[in-house]
């Protein structure tokens, strides 16, 4: 896989999911996120998520399908993004140790002055959000 050019790709797609999520559920949600935000795949620099999902087939297969590299962050790093989240969740915090995965991962990967351009959206078992690199 070639590394996308950071000069032309200005967005990060954050993804989260429950363990064992069907990859079709995640792929369809990722495609919906791009459609709803008006952002093309070739504008995405990377997909980001929590490190406990680094071997999750749904995330790996979605990244391969979109031909995008992956970045993973630990829960403590994602928790530091809580003040910037649009949809913090106590339930997510109780399960994984941070108040959000998709939004927080997108923001963490996009940098300290990044902005969410698409707050968290959900499907059956997946979440997605998009941040603009600051």
Please tell me the predicted confidence (pLDDT) of residue 7.
62
What integer is the mean pLDDT of 6-28? 91
Per DSSP bridges, beta strands 115-122 and 70-73 are: unpaired
Question: Which sequence spans correspond to the domains of the chain?
Answer: 11-132
Q: What is the pLDDT of residue 134?
A: 83
State the pTM of this model: 0.93
The two tokens of residue 73 are: 């962050």
- Joined together, the tokens standing for residue 6 give 């950071």
The 10s digit of each residue's pLDDT in 67-119 is 999 999 999 999 999 999 999 999 999 999 999 999 999 999 999 999 999 99
pLDDT of amino acid 9: 84
Residue 26: predicted pLDDT: 96
Region of poorest pLDDT, from 2-6, 28-32, 99-103: 2-6
- Decide: 21 and 128 in contact? Cβ < 8 Å: no
CATH number, span 11-132: 3.30.420.180
The pLDDT of residue 3 is 56
Residue 14's nearest CA partner among 91, 94, 92, 5 is 92
Would you say residue 45 has pLDDT above 70?
Answer: yes
Q: How far apart are the C-alpha atoms of 73 and 51, rounded to whole Å?
A: 5
Q: With helix as H, strand as E and coil as C, how does 59-99 read?
A: HHHHHHHHCCCEEEECHHHHHCCHHHCCCCCHHHHHHHCCC
- Helix (H) / strand (E) element for 107: namely helix 102-110
Chain mean pLDDT for the chain: 94
Helix axis angle for 23-37 and 57-66, nearest 10°, is 50
Compare 96 and 4 and report the one with higher pLDDT: 96
């Amino acid at each position: 896989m070639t590394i996308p050019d950071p000069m032309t790709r200005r967005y990060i797609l954050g993804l989260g999911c429950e363990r064992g999520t069907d990859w079709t559920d995640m792929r369809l949600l990722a495609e919906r996120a791009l459609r709803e935000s008006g952002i093309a795949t070739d504008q995405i620099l990377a997909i980001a998520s929590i490190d406990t999902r680094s071997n999750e087939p749904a995330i790996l297969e979605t990244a391969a399908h979109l031909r995008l590299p992956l970045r993973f962050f630990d829960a403590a790093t994602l928790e530091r993004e809580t003040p910037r989240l649009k949809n913090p969740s106590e339930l997510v915090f109780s399960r994984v140790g941070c108040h959000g995965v998709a939004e927080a991962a997108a923001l963490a990967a996009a940098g300290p002055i990044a902005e969410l351009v698409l707050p968290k959206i959900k499907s059956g078992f997946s979440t997605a959000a998009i941040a603009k690199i600051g």
